[in-house]
Structure 1
């Protein structure tokens, strides 16, 4: 097994497993989540965050937490959207934002052994999925969207981002 910059690579008979268990344990310890209970989802369903909430948070602590999560998201696609959402508040964050970011850590605590598994396949089948939250940002009404594409069962590209403009409608009435 190789360990380079927090990314671990394990060669198995059926393929290659890329993960960051050691790094995830380090950030769970660094941000004092060791004694917290794991949760089953990275964020609460339907949560809407605003930049106009009250509360004070240590800027270096919050930025370090989000930076650590951004690095961890390279092998954990299922937190990519949530980490991107929290990254939007790097300029103005509150205790609510910190609680949401710590929930992502609590989710990671329960999924330490997850990662990306790349295996050879005789079937060349291209599949993709995409989704959007349709004006989900309560501050500027912009949409966030994301996609992931697979060849066989191997994810090879993915993205999650906030759209640069507000779309009013796709049809005329």
Structure 2
């Protein structure tokens, strides 16, 4: 592949999309232990007793009669799936010397940017419409990411 594509070998993958990857002689093992620890820390539950479902299904939250308001969004985020969000753009004729545009994209998983790209295009586009069409190649990346997330049991139901 290095003959066909420009790439750098950064070694074996060890962490991707919040998933720890261990590559050993007897197989590849993935876990979300660190992610789970982060969630427990966020909700100050590091010493809690583990159960299968931490939130009862169908529970409606309201403020207690003698207490403070409960933020249902914050509370329910404990069991919330992470959402993939992507942005893509192009600057038409951004290089003043050769009039080539630069396109870029970024994908966020939850609140964290985990993959991005910025690249000067090898062609000169003749309109903003054509520049945006060239930039839309990031859709291939989005399709691949959605497929990967589905394999990891994190299907994305909304558009990115």
Taking structure 1 as the reference length, the TM-score comes to 0.31
Structure with larger RCO (C-alpha < 8 A, sep 6+) = 1
Taking structure 2 as the reference length, the TM-score comes to 0.33
Greater share of helix residues, 1 or 2? 1
Structure index of larger Rg: 2
